[in-house]
Amino acid sequence: MNRIIAGLVAGLFSVGIAYAQAPAQPPAAQPAAVTTAAPAAKAELAAPAAPGCEGKAVSKSGKPLAGAAKAAFIKKCEGGSSAAAPSSCADKAVGKNGKPLAGAAKTAFMKKCEADAK
């Protein structure tokens, strides 16, 4: 009886080692339901890695933006909005004597420059 149990345990152990060393099945051998979901998941993972503004267009939850939200984000990212205007206005905020503007003069200039940029 002990020899039979020892033989079964040894057999199961050797089968476990054989399965552990066997190569994994290729993706083509998986069921169709799994393979159709895999490309969509891969596309979502690949989208943030894409270069440029379109690759950066993801929501706070990590999902890619679509429609108007995506269009607005790409426009802003490419510099089509007034987001880039304050830095260029700050560079232009210089008085007649070549010194940077300060105080009320700078505030008025910045407000006018940003309004003109829109």
Domain membership flag for residue 67: no
Alpha helices in the chain (DSSP H): 2-21, 32-46, 53-56, 67-77, 85-92, 103-117
pLDDT of residue 23: 65
Query: Rounded to two decimals, what is the model's pTM?
Result: 0.30
Burial 32-59 (b: 16+ CB within 10 A, else e): eeeeeeeeeeeeeeebeeeeeeeeebee
Half-sphere exposure of 46 toward its Cβ, with a 13 Å CA cutoff?
6
Distance, CA of 99 to CA of 106 (rounded, Å): 11
Domain membership flag for residue 89: yes
Domain membership flag for residue 103: yes
Distance, CA of 105 to CA of 72 (rounded, Å): 33
Number of domain units in the chain? 1
Domain membership flag for residue 18: no
Domain membership flag for residue 74: no
Residue-range definition of the domain harbouring residue 102: 82-118
Domain membership flag for residue 112: yes
Within 8 A by CB and 6+ apart from 9, the residues are none
- Residues (pLDDT < 70) of the chain are 15-51, 80-87
